[in-house]
Structures are given as C-alpha cells and as structure tokens.
Chain A
Amino acid sequence: MSGVDEVFARCRAEGRGALVGYLPAGYPTVDEGVALLTAMSEGGCDLLEVGVPYSDPVMDGPTIQAAADLALSNGFRLKAVFETVSRVSAAGGACVVMTYFNPVLKYGVERFAADLAAAGGLGMITPDLIPDEADEWLVASEKHGLSRTFLVAPSSTEQRIASTAAASSGFVYATSVMGVTGARDSVNSAAGDIVARTRPHTSLPIGVGLGVRNGEQAAEIAGFADAVIVGSAFVTAAAEGGPEGVRALAQDLAAGVARAGLPPT
C-alpha cells in the first residue's frame, strides 16, 4: 500500500472524502512556501500537491501562472521542491508533487523519482503527461513506490478513460471542466459526468479539481467524488492572508468535505 493509498484509507475510515490542496513550491519563497503548505496541512488538507513552478504552464490560469512567475523570479530552483517536500512531510504533511513534465525530463525521470521518494514524497501528478508517453515514469514510480496520478477529461473517450485509469495508482484526477485552472463561481455539471464515466473503469479514488473555492462547493463535489482538489483558491488565500489565510480556507473546505460524507461508489 502506497502512502497515498493510506491517506485515502484513513479518510474513508472517518466516513468522508479527502481534501487535496495545491500550492507551488517556492511561493513566494521556499521558506514561506513550507510555512504555507504546513498550515494547509494543519488546517485540514489530507494531501498536499506541491507544485513545481514552470516557465510555460499551459494548463494554468492567471492566478497560478502569476504564482509560478513570482517563485521563479524569487530564484526558485528545482531542487527546492525536494527540500519543500522533506520539510513539510517532517511537519506532518502528506505530499505529492504536481509538475509539468519537462523539468522532470531534464532532471532525469529515475533520478527525480529517487530524490522525491527520499524526501518523503508519496507520488506525482502529471498534468501534461499522458500514459502513452510515460514508459520511463511507469518504471521509476514502481521502483520507488510512488503513486502515479494521470488526468482524465470530459473530452476523454471511454477507451482512454479506461487506459488512463489503468495506468494510474493512488488516485485518478478528473478535470471537471474543459479549461485552465482558476476559481469559478459554480461547479460545472460536467464534473459529475466525468466521475460517473470513470467509476466503472477503476477501483481507485477519483479526485475532482479545477474551480473549487469554498466549503459549499467542496461539499457539493464531495457528494460524488472521493477527493476535492483545490488550487487557485489557496494561491489567492496565501497572497491575501498568508499562513492564517490558507489555514482558514483549509478549515472551511475540510468542513464542507466532512459534511458531505462518503460518496456512493
């Protein structure tokens, strides 16, 4: 059982889904990023997605783009992601890394996996890597006991949902809307559809992301998904309220997730 499996098992035992929070490493600096991620964990995030700031984040909207730009202009270097994971894990957080794949390719897929595992990281989410191109990562993740989360989308065919879910471990990430990241006012009805279409193809937990910003939306999503994934709203909360801001948001979201109970599977 991987670390991510244990996180989901613990949530299930508590009769609820999981809250997953995203923040780029090094935002706004490495030390402050560690403090923010730790506060998110303490506030109720069951799993942390530690983002890797990247020069060309084509899946991200303006909020996360700006955060990545700030981290990079403050001198973020790739190795700091391992330091961040290590320090946040030591403080009790459960971390996976979410990254565009070129930094991993450049670092070396096997070397990245080894260093991530050594830092206490539990897995990786790869938004611009499809299983078709992932041979090296499939091998390295098995070797180092890391979970592999690939994404499914509303545009995915049944066949692709099946093959993507089969290549995944830990959990499957369902993008609820077509589009880039960013907080939205309402939860798109496509979210329920993509979870329902994915369910028959996997026994893994299914997380839903893209657009969630408050406890009410979190409760709505937790009604049908196993994990509620929140990104841009945490970035905004960090910019506006620092560690206390993200802690308060995590508490609000966690309450929403707990309120919803377990989704029917």
Chain B
Amino acid sequence: MSSSSTVQASQGIETPSGHEPDEHGHFGRYGGRWVPEALVAALDELETAYEKARHDPEFLTELDRLHRDYTGRPSPLTDVPKLSQHAGGARILLKREDLNHTGSHKINNVLGQALLTKRMGKKRVIAETGAGQHGVATATACALLDLECVVYMGEVDTRRQALNVARMRLLGATVIPVKTGSRTLKDAINEALRDWVTNVDSTHYLLGTVAGPHPFPQLVRDFHRIIGLEAREQVLARCGRLPTAIAACVGGGSNAIGIFHAFLDDPGVRLVGFEPGGDGIETGRHGATLSAGSPGALHGAMSYLLQDEDGQTAESYSISAGLDYPGVGPEHSLLKDLGRAEYQPVTDAEAMDAFALLCRTEGIIPAIESAHAVAGALRLGKELGPDAVILVSLSGRGDKDVDTAAKWFGMIGSDESAESADGTAIAEGVVREPAGSFADAGSETEGIQA
C-alpha cells in the first residue's frame, strides 16, 4: 500500500457509514427539517435523487473520474517535522485538501451535488459562501457542467475575500452581495433560502456545509467522507498505526465531519474540532457555537447555535470569513453530546500565529480557517507529547487570505487593502517589512498579538 491511497471518492457515498440519521434526518435530537412547507418537496426530491445516485454505477464512476482527473484526488499526506518541533515533538501530518482543484475540500461536495443537479434536470444552481471557497468551487463545477450559477455572499465577506469574488466572476457566476443583518455567511444563507423558496422548481440550492435541513447534513457529509477514508489509509501506511488525535476547524463543520467520520468507530482516536474563538469567548466576539451556544433551530436544522435569551440569533465574529457563522452541523452537536468528539475555541491571535508558523517552517500558506486546526494541533501536541501522531485537516489554502494576513502582520497599511473585487490592491500596495508576530514566527509560538 502506498501513501497515495486506493480509496475512491464514491466509497463515501456508496457504503453507509454506520452512523446514519433516522428516516426524518435526525441525529439524536438534532437535524431534521425546520423549514417552510414550500421547501419540503424539493428536499424530498433531493433525498430521492441522492438515494438513487449512490447505488448507480454510472454516477459513482463519473464522480470518481472527476475527483481523480479534475480535483486531483487523492490529496497527499504531508509530514511537517519542523512544525512538529513547535508541538512538543508530536508527529504532525497534514491532510492536504488545500491541494485540491479550487484550493479547498469544498470541491468534494460540490461536484457530487452538481452531478445530482443534472440528474434532477435542474439548470440553475444557487449557493451561499463565506470565505468564498464554496462559492468558487460551485462556480467551477457550474462552468464545467453548464449550469447557471448565482452565489450569495455577505457584503462584509465580499470585501475581506475580494480575490474569491473575482474568481467566481471569472468563472461566469453571478455574485450577489448580501446587505442584510450582519452581512456575513448567516445572511448569505438567508438570502439563498429566500431565492430557493421562490425558484425551487428550476433551482438547486447547493448548500456548502453539513448544516441545513435533511438530507443536506447527511449527503454533504458523505461527499466529504473521502477525506477521512483516504487519510486513514495513508496514516496507517505511513505510520503503521492510527493517529492519536485528529484536528479540524469547525465553522459549519464539513471538513471536520469528513475527516472525523472514518475514525468514529476507532475509540482510541481523539476527535477535536477547533472553533473560531475570535477575540476570545469571554469577549462575546467569537463564532464558537459548540463551545458557547445552546440548542435551537436555524437554517433548517436543530443544532447548537449562538442565540440570545429570546432565541434571536447572535452575531458571530471571526477573522476567518469561512468560520464566521453562529450555527453548526447537527451531527457535530450529537458528537459533542455523546462525548465522541470535543470542541475547543482557537482565538484569532492563536490562529494567525499558527498561520505564520506554518508559512515559515514548512512553506505552506494555509487558509485562515485551516490555521485554526493547525493551532489546535500545536495545542494538542504539547498536551499529548512526542509519542503522539496528530492528523490535521488542512482544509484549504491561504491565497485568498493574503490581504487579511498582510494587514494582520502589518505588511501593508489598512488603507492600502483590496477594497475592490479585482484583487490588485495587494500588488499595488506598499509592501512593508514584516512586523510583530510574523517575523518572530518559527522562533516563538506563544500568544503573540499583532
């Protein structure tokens, strides 16, 4: 067995995981369908199409072909010995979803749902996006498969992820900045749901995470199970043992559930999700839904969410647009309650320290989302010691975050940042000597604030 993995993407959907929701889509008390009646028929249609497709050799073969020849699966497993020195000597292995076509794990789910869209005979796709990674992946699949693509993105996010807005538009998608509410991912989902209710006959809502009404949490998860299935085989081949712990970032939770799932029945493997701690849980400015939230219904599912005592959704905050969401997938809520997975907050500052460290020590620029998982792995390594093997879901690459990072580390002034969607401002801005934590990264990892 080589490190290149023999698992096919279709295995994650063809073979049930053994951890299925009940017939109404409930994971314990979570999940289900907390939706307007107007959407039920479309959800039933999707469920039927998925159940048919997952046993259709033609569908499975096409999915595998695309993931092999287009996505570039399997994604590699990378040893990062220099990073490990900063993690108490624990061996850290990165599952490189950042090397997939479009730059993140999101393509796993998007190609699957785009193929389902074709099979349902729908010609128009809508999607929400936070960091823009899911939007880019969706725009990509729609270009490939000749589908009309409309992406809803919070206005705040269109600014902090301007490069991805340009990418989506280059790919032929219509990007609609959402100006309601907190103008971030939550509000983008609201607008996508409003569009879907109106155009449900012609339109598939290509939801980008393991949240939303049944069957989304199940089918998005299944399309991402390939992450863990590959990684499990790769770690066993490389190390001759299972990992001690797995670290993944959790916003909605799609990359985390994708990598966790192959290890759910390995009780010796610790599953740890790292949530956006923002400025710190105690400040109230964070997006750590499982760490600080309570159960409720949002965006079609019962799950943990950040809410006030009247059940109004609280505003989340994170430096990472992709994690800046006050909800989370229902299966994570169940895994938390069962104690099978644990969830810890990572602050902006911790994530950015880890971001800098991975850049400097290993030559890998991670997405800021994924930097939360790297920070978590550093924390776990110090706790578990040099005998530990820690598998990290490096869910995306950081090209899109260069502007945010350059500002954080004081390399460009905030007045020189990319306000337009053309992504040119960084190149034109005055590049300064790195200040503060970035220059120090690699020699020091504890608590450096920019």
Contacts and interface: CB of A to CB of B under 8 A. Distances in A.
Interface of B: 24, 32-42, 180-181, 186, 190, 193-194, 197-201, 294, 296-299, 302, 307, 309-313
Contact of B310 (A106, A130, A157, A164): A106
A102 interface: yes
B36 A102 contact: no
Interface stretch (A55-63, A218-226, A229-237, A253-261): A55-63
12 contacts: A56-B190, A56-B299, A58-B197, A59-B194, A102-B296, A103-B310, A133-B34, A151-B37, A153-B37, A155-B201, A178-B200, A180-B198
A101 B193 CA distance: 16
B37 A152 contact: yes
Interface in A67-113: 72, 77-78, 101-107
B313 A55 contact: yes
Contact of B181 (A55, A104, A156, A178): A55
Contacts of A150: 37
Contact of B36 (A65, A106, A132, A151): A151
A263 to B, nearest CB: 22
B38 A102 contact: no
Of listed A72, A102, A175, residue having the most chain B CB within 10 A? A102
Contacts of B190: 56-58
A128 B34 contact: yes
Given A55-B313, A107-B310, 4 more contacts: A56-B299, A57-B190, A106-B296, A155-B39
A54 interface: yes
Nearest to A160: B40
A127 interface: yes
Contacts of B302: 133
A102 B37 contact: no
Contacts of A241: none
A11 interface: no
A130 B40 contact: yes
Instruction: Name the prevailing secondary structure of the A interface residues.
Output: loop
B37 A130 contact: yes
A129 interface: yes
Given A55-B181, A155-B41, A130 B33 contact: yes
Question: Nearest 5 CB-CB pairs, A to B?
Answer: A106-B311, A103-B311, A153-B38, A179-B198, A78-B310
Contact of B312 (A54, A164, A175, A180): A54
B310 A178 contact: no
Given A102-B298, A106-B309, A130-B40, A180 B194 contact: yes
Contacts of A107: 310-311
A127 B39 CA distance: 11
Given A129-B34, A157-B41, A180-B197, A56 B311 contact: no
Of listed B34, B180, B313, residue having the most chain A CB within 10 A? B34
A52 B35 CA distance: 17
Contacts of A105: 296-297, 311
Nearest to B327: A56
A105 B310 CA distance: 9
Contacts of B312: 54-55, 72, 103
Nearest to A130: B37
Given A58-B190, A59-B36, A132-B33, A155 B42 contact: yes
A184 to B, nearest CB: 12
B307 A102 contact: yes
Contacts of A101: 34, 297
Contacts of A154: 38
Of listed A128, A156, A180, residue having the most chain B CB within 10 A? A128
Contacts of A152: 37
Contacts of A132: 24, 32-33
Contacts of A164: 37
Interface string A173-189: 00100111000000000
A175 B40 CA distance: 14
Contacts of B37: 130, 150-153, 156, 160, 164, 175
B32 A133 contact: yes
A178 B311 contact: no
A57 B181 CA distance: 10
Contacts of A65: 180
Contacts of A128: 34-36, 297
B52 to A, nearest CB: 18
Contacts of B201: 155, 178
B197 A106 contact: no
Interface string A103-143: 11111000000000000000000011110110000000000
Contacts of A175: 37-38
A106 B307 contact: yes
